[in-house]
Amino acid sequence: MIKELFARFQKAQREGNHMKSMEVETSTKQVCLNCGTEYVGSFCPHCKQKADTHRLNIIDTIKGFFARFIRIDHGLIHTLIDLLYRPGYMVRDYFRGYRAEYVDPLLLLIILVAFDYMFFGGGETLQKPYPEELTKLLATYPISLKVTHISWWISSDIQRITLYVSLLLAPSICITLWLIRVKENRLNLSEAFHLLIYAFCIEKFIALVIELITIILGSHAPHILSNDMYILMGYILFLIFIMVRDCCYLGWKKCIAFILLEPIVGIVTIFVFYSFLILPIHLELPEELVHQVFALLRH
């Protein structure tokens, strides 16, 4: 009895597999209009484009927009929750290859910045126009005029200063990890950049939440909720330490060494970048004019 049932099962399985193979063989092959891959099915296996590429209409456009938005929104919420709840482990998972369920850091930053400009006007700025004295003073020095414009553009927005300073810390992280002799799980420059952008995204998201609370509470909002650059930088440095510790598996001795060395290396890195940025001013302008330019930039 058991042998008979087993034989029937094998026969049904062979017939089922045969029917499946016949279906695949009789299915029509098509060529992807996007990448030229020949395939069978509803989606191209190479570029994931749909097989049905009929002429666009309004309904398809609306459906496509909401489908992409829901896909991004799901990953966005998941990424923000993990960044707030376990930032170091989330970034470590991203570096290990678990990237499908997370939003790329640059895309996440663009979404947060766009949200900030749409609803809050871009956050706090210094609201100081470029000094007219500098324009007149550097009228015959085009390179120095361009450099001062770049310096003023960076320093005129608190979030912009925070982002640029944060990105400048990427080489300092790699150098510090090399100095404290981290070998097996040391971050390369690209990974350090990704880590810093994720840290800035967390700070940006928290700043947006604080800004929303400030708008709701109005004059009753506590003064500590103000968007202060030094508080933001301190929080970003704390996030960087947490992420580096979890990504590189640092012990307590190397954690202490990293905390002590990284700010020093970071300050040196920022100083080198700033010196390189203002080098054209020193090379192009007379010395007495250099002092006037920096005096106007400071004011």
So what's the pLDDT on residue 66? 58
Examine residue 65 and state whether it is found in any structural domain, yes or no.
no
Domain that holds residue 266: 105-298
Per-residue model confidence (pLDDT) at position 19: 42
Rounded Cα distance between 282 and 236, Å, is: 33
Confidence of residue 268 (pLDDT cuts 50, 70, 90): very high
Please report the pLDDT score of residue 176 as a whole number.
93
CB atoms within 10 A of CB 264: 12
Rounded to whole angstroms, the Cα distance separating 111 from 76 reads 9
Query: What tokens does 254 get?
Result: 């190397």
Q: How much is the average pLDDT of 74-92?
A: 86
Report whether 175 contacts 265 (CB < 8 A). Answer: yes
As a whole number, mean pLDDT of residues 216-221 equals 67
pLDDT over 70 percentage in the chain: 76
Tell me what pLDDT residue 282 has. 86
In a domain, 231, yes or no: yes
Calculate mean pLDDT across residues 144-164.
Answer: 80
CA–CA dist 218, 58 (Å, integer): 42
Can you give the pLDDT at residue 138?
85
Residue 96 lies in a domain: no
- pLDDT attached to residue 257: 93
Q: Which residue has the higher pLDDT, 1 or 167?
A: 167
**Alpha carbon of residue 278 to chain centroid:** 28
Predicted confidence (pLDDT) per residue in 157-206, tens digit: 777 777 787 788 889 999 999 999 888 888 988 999 999 999 888 888 88
Highest mean pLDDT among 35-49, 56-70, 209-223: 35-49
- Mean confidence (pLDDT) of the chain: 78
0.85 surpassed by pTM: no
Count of domains forming the chain: 1
User: From the centroid of its chain, how far is CA 169?
Assistant: 15
pLDDT band of 26, cuts 50, 70, 90 = very low
Tens of pLDDT along 89-109? 999 988 888 887 888 888 888
73 in a structural domain: no
**Confidence label for 261 from pLDDT (cuts 50, 70 and 90):** very high
Burial of 167 by CB count in 10 Å (0-12 exposed, 13-18 middle, 19+ buried)? middle
Give the pLDDT score at 69: 57
Instruction: Write the CB contacts of 140 (distance below 8 Å, at least 6 apart in sequence).
Output: none
CB 86 within 8 A of CB 55: no
Q: Which residue has the higher pLDDT, 226 or 92?
A: 92
Q: d(Cα 142, Cα 135) in Å, to the nearest integer?
A: 10
36 lies in some domain:
no
Q: How far is CA 139 from CA 8, 68, 134, 150, 197, in A?
A: 93, 49, 8, 16, 37
pLDDT class of 35 with cuts at 50, 70, 90: confident
Predicted pLDDT at 277: 86
Residue 265, pLDDT score: 92
Average pLDDT over residues 76-97: 88
**Residues 148, 154: Cα–Cα separation, whole Å:** 10
Query: What pLDDT is recorded for position 27?
Result: 58
Q: Would 249 be classed as within a structural domain?
A: yes
Give the ranges where the chain is alpha helix by DSSP (H): 2-26, 58-85, 87-96, 105-119, 132-137, 142-155, 158-179, 189-217, 229-248, 252-284, 287-298
User: Is position 13 within any domain?
Assistant: no
* pLDDT at residue 245, rounded to an integer: 92
Residue of 103, 127, 123, 124 whose CA lies nearest to 114: 123
Residue 77 domain-assigned (yes or no): no
pLDDT for the residue numbered 21: 43
